A = this chain, B = another copy of it.
Amino acid sequence: MSQIKLVIVDDHDVVRKGIKTYLMTEDEIEVVGEASSGDEGADLVLKEKPDVVLMDLIMDNGTGIEATERIVDQLPDCKVIILTSYYDDEKVFPALEAGAFSYMLKTSSADEIAEAVKKAVNGENVIEPKVAGKMMTRMRSPEKQLHEDLTQRELEVLICIGNGLTNTEISEKLFIGIKTVKTHVSHVLHKLEVQDRTQAAVYAHQKGLMK
């Protein structure tokens, strides 16, 4: 089989260099490009058409999630392996839903990463145990993200609450009446299954909905 063409997208220079240097000892793998941001990475991948992409999630210009979506959409055969430090729900599931093929943590050894790359081209997924555990629990109890039920407007209101705005301030910011704000707030509280706006604010922060 011919060499596996790989692109590395990570804003950490040492990570890129580390993987690249290590993979130089792997004959089957050839690093055909590197990028340090999501946007740049997606562009590069669409140009180079590699077999596998190692993708970080948190980067300056364009997240790995967005880049993964673009890549999977344009190049369905290209396997995107998420390689990141995070394994919380807010990062894992959006990445998998975006079409990531494997999900590795940076605590993995270089060997494991090389192995995951090889397996990817053979159609084998590699999911970190910690991440796999989260997937299992989600499978067992399809624990719906409550905020998925929120309408666009309700989500806007929730973000305002999360920023500590009062109803009056929200009404001024969104150019709607206080009565309307109260209606939205009530709906938000019910949908999130919380008792008051403070708990809603906590929810928004804990679920990473802020910013």
Min CB gap A72→B, angstroms: 24
Q: How many copies does the complex hold?
A: 2
Q: Could you tell me which residues of chain A, from 157 to 196, have a CB within 8 Å of some CB in chain B?
A: 161-164, 166, 194-196
Min CB gap A47→B, angstroms: 23
CB of A19 within 8 A of chain B? yes
Instruction: Given A198-B197, A205-B202, decide whether A15 and B13 contact each other with a Cβ distance below 8 A.
Output: no
CB of A119 within 8 A of chain B? no
Q: What 7 pairs across the A-B complex have the smallest Cβ distances?
A: A18-B18, A164-B199, A12-B106, A21-B21, A14-B18, A13-B109, A205-B205
The total of chain A residues at the interface (CB under 8 A) is 37
New contact pairs (15) apart from A11-B107, A18-B22, CB-CB < 8 Å: A12-B106, A13-B112, A14-B19, A15-B106, A16-B18, A17-B110, A18-B18, A21-B22, A85-B85, A162-B202, A163-B202, A164-B195, A164-B202, A166-B195, A201-B201
Q: Dominant SS at the A interface?
A: helix
A110→B109 CA distance, assembly (Å): 19
